[in-house]
Amino acid sequence: MTIRDDHALAGDLASEAGERLLDLRARQGFGDQRALKDAGDMMSHRYLMDALQRLRPSDSVLSEEATREERMDPRRLKADRVWIVDPLDGTREFSEEGRSDWAVHVALWERTGDEGALTAGAVALPAQGRTLTTAKPPTLAAPGERIRIAVSRTRPPEFVRKLAVLAGADLVPIGSAGAKIAAVLTGEVEAYVHAGGQYEWDSAAPVAVALAAGAHASRIDGTPLVYNQEDPSLPDILVCLPDLAPMLLAGIRDLHR
Ligand SMILES: Nc1ncnc2c1ncn2[C@@H]1O[C@H](COP(=O)(O)O)[C@@H](OP(=O)(O)O)[C@H]1O
Ligand SMILES: [Mg+2]
C-alpha cells in the first residue's frame, strides 16, 4: 500500500478493525450482549480514529461513535476530504453468536467544486472473511427470474412488503446496511430497500463500493444520496442491480401515491 492510495487504505483499515472485532468477540463471549456491543463500537471507533489521525492528519472524520459536538464540528462542512465511518454496522448482529451479518464501514468523501462525492470506500465483513473495496469492486451478476430484496431484520419498512408483492419478489431479512448492500454486490440478493431512518455512516462505504461496481444507489425517490451534510440523517435508500432500478423506483412511486 502506498500512503497516497485511499482505496487501499480504506480496505486495510476496515479489515484491520474487523480482525480486532473478531478477536473481541472470541475473548469476551456473548454472555453480556450490551457490554459486547458497547465494547465493539468503542474499540473499533478508537482504532479507526487513531489510524486516520496518524495516516491522514489533514482530513476530517465523521463517525457514528463520535460525540455530538465532534459530529457537529463546522470544520467538517468546509473540509475537502472527509472520512465517513461506521466502526460497527449491525451492532445487534455482532452481539449474537453465530451471526455474520455485521460490518465495518470506511468511506472517503471529497469535495468536487460546489458538491462532493464518495471517492473511495471499503466494507469489511469480518465473520464472512471478506472485504469489498473500491480498489477492486465486485463484478455484478445478471438478475435471474426471481428477485430477492434484502430488508432490515428488525425494522423492515411496511411498504417493502407491498413492493415485494408488486414485483413478485422474495424478502430476505439480513442485519447491517453494509451486509445487505454487500449481498446485492455479490449476487445473494438483487436489491436492498430501506426507509424510516438511517444515517450517512450506515450507507456511505457500501454505496461507494456499489457505485464503483456499477450498481444503482439512490434515495427511494430516485434522487442522489448526498453525503457530508450538516444533518447526517439519510433515512431511505435503494441499492440494486442497475437493470432493476426503473421497475423498483416505479413500484415505490406507485406505493407512495
Ligand atoms: N429506523 C431507523 N432509524 C435509525 N437508524 C436505523 C433505522 N433502521 C436501521 N437503522 C440503522 O441502519 C443500520 C442497519 O440496520 P438494520 O440491520 O436494521 O438494517 C444499523 O446501524 P448500526 O448497527 O450501526 O446502529 C441501524 O441502526
Ligand atoms: Mg450503522
Domain covering 147-256: architecture: 3-Layer(aba) Sandwich (3.40)
Residue with cell 449474537: 96
pLDDT of residue 114: 85
pLDDT digits (tens, 9 = 90+) for 131-159: 999 999 999 999 888 999 999 999 999 99
Cα–Cα distance, 233 to 251 (Å, whole number): 24
pLDDT digits (tens, 9 = 90+) for 202-232: 999 999 999 999 999 999 999 999 999 999 9
The interface pTM score, or ipTM, of the predicted complex is 0.98
Q: 6-133 domain in CATH 3.30.540.10?
A: yes
Nearest CA to ligand 1 atom 11: 198
Nearest CA to ligand 1 atom 15: 176
Nearest CA to ligand 1 atom 21: 89
Give the domain ranges of the chain: 6-133, 147-256
Residue 94 in contact with residue 103, Cβ under 8 Å? Answer: no
Substitution site in 36, 171, 176 for ligand 1 pocket (most atoms within 8 Å of beta carbon): 176
Same fold, 6-133 and 147-256: no
38 in a known ligand binding site: no
Residue 144 in contact with residue 22, Cβ under 8 Å? Answer: no
Average pLDDT of the residues of the chain: 96
pTM: 0.97
Cα–Cα distance, 68 to 143 (Å, whole number): 42
- Rounded mean pLDDT of 18-46? 98
CB count in 10 Å sphere of residue 171 = 16
